[in-house]
A = this chain, B = another copy of it.
Amino acid sequence: MLDISLLGTGGMVPLPNRFLSSMIMRYKKTTILVDCGEGTQVTLKMLGWGFKNIDIICLTHFHADHVAGLPGFLHTMANSGRKEDVVIIGPTGLIEVVQSLLVIARILPFKIIFKEINKDTLLNFGEIDINTTFLEHRIICIAYSFEIKRNGKFHIEKAKQLNIPHNLYNTLQNGNDVEYMGKILRSTDFVGELRKGFKITYCTDSRPVESLVSFAKDSDLFICEGIYADDKKINKAKEYKHMLFSEAATLAKNSNSKELWLTHFSPSLKNPEEFIDVAKFIFENSYVGYDRITKTFKYRED
């Protein structure tokens, strides 16, 4: 079971009714935050998922609206009793930027492990793979995809036929061999091939570069910026290196994603939901994100 929530959906400046773009996901015991603009800790408090269990913070780039909330956020994590290491991932410049911001949060009770990304990278954290790719923005910026690996199907009928006790099923399913009644039971004899898990792709801020199509390929959820809804704003989108609703929807379609959540709206876009048809016309399963929109992904037992 994978939970996803957009903590904020605004771009550029935090507004009284819209926090800055940020996403949080949790899968089993791992919680990952993507981006941390000013106010992210407040909207997370409203969501109520807690601060103590955040293991990984991914930063897309170092414009203030994506990172200015970090020192306060880490401070609040410290106050929540976090002691374990926290991994912070971000593009080139990460260490300098975070250490500069920490001038006002110098003493933290946990260690920060930096992963500075300077080329497209795959990082593995147990059952979660994090992939990065470089985007086209005014400064260096990366997109993230999160892939949850899923164990193969457990052949329960076979286990029953052999009278293997129930309490050994989990161990075998998780890839461990077991000794039982003097015999070695091999996990591979009871578990099928790895199955497709979930794939979530997160992209702010960028022009719609071609490489995103393969990067986001077959995503269960593609979260993508759409700073403007109106196609007439294409020149402004190009100038500031952002994307229109229609461009995000085209990426969702071409990448064969299952669902699109638009985010990172311009402060001038007061009611983005009024323009959802612009995206739906290209990619039916498009939704306008809003602060703390939440979805739980469950496996279909097939």
Judge if A224 is at the interface, Cβ distance under 8 Å: no
Is chain A's interface secondary structure helix, strand, loop, or mixed overall? helix
Give the contact stretch, choosing among A65-73, A145-153, A241-249: A65-73
| Interchain nearest-CB distance for A217 vs B (Å) | 32
Q: Are A16 and B104 in contact (CB under 8 A)?
A: no
Question: Which residues of chain B have C-beta atoms less than 8 A from A105's C-beta?
Answer: 64
A42:B16 contact, CB within 8 angstroms:
yes
Closest Cβ neighbor of A43 among chain B residues: B16
Interface size class of A (residues with CB under 8 A): 20 to 34
Which residues in B have their C-beta under 8 angstroms from that of A140?
none
Whether, in the assembled complex, A41 has its beta carbon less than 8 Å from a beta carbon of chain B, the answer is yes
Give the interface segment out of A93-101, A117-125, A253-261, A280-288: A93-101
Q: Which of B14, B65, B75, B100 contacts A64 (CB 8 A)?
A: B75
> Which of these, B14, B16, B45, B62, contacts A72 with CB under 8 Å?
B14
Interface residue? A218 (CB, 8 A): no
A233-275 interface with B by 8 A CB criterion: none
Which residues of the other chain, B, contact A75 by a CB distance below 8 angstroms?
13, 64
Are the C-beta atoms of B67 and A104 separated by less than 8 Å?
yes
Contact check, B62 vs A41: say whether CB atoms are below 8 A apart: no
Least Cβ distance of A258 to chain B in Å?
A: 32
Given contacts A16-B42, A42-B14, A104-B101, contact A64 B68 (CB under 8 A): no
Interface string of A214-240 (1 = CB under 8 A from B): 000000000000000000000000000
A24-42 contacts to B, CB under 8 A, are 37-39, 41-42
Contact of A296 with B by CB under 8 A: no
The residue of chain B having its C-beta at the shortest distance from the C-beta of A67 within the complex is B104
The answer, yes or no, to whether A46 is at the interface (CB within 8 Å) is: yes
With a cutoff of 8 Å between Cβ atoms, the chain B residues found around residue A63 in the complex are 104
Which chain B residues border A72 with CB–CB below 8 Å? 13-14, 37-38, 64-65, 68
Known: A67-B104, A71-B64. A76 touches B39 (CB 8 A): no
Q: Do B13 and A64 have beta carbons less than 8 Å apart?
A: no
19 pairs, CB–CB < 8 Å, chain A vs chain B = A13-B41, A13-B72, A13-B76, A13-B79, A14-B39, A14-B72, A15-B42, A16-B42, A38-B39, A38-B41, A38-B42, A38-B69, A62-B103, A62-B104, A63-B104, A64-B105, A65-B72, A68-B72, A96-B103
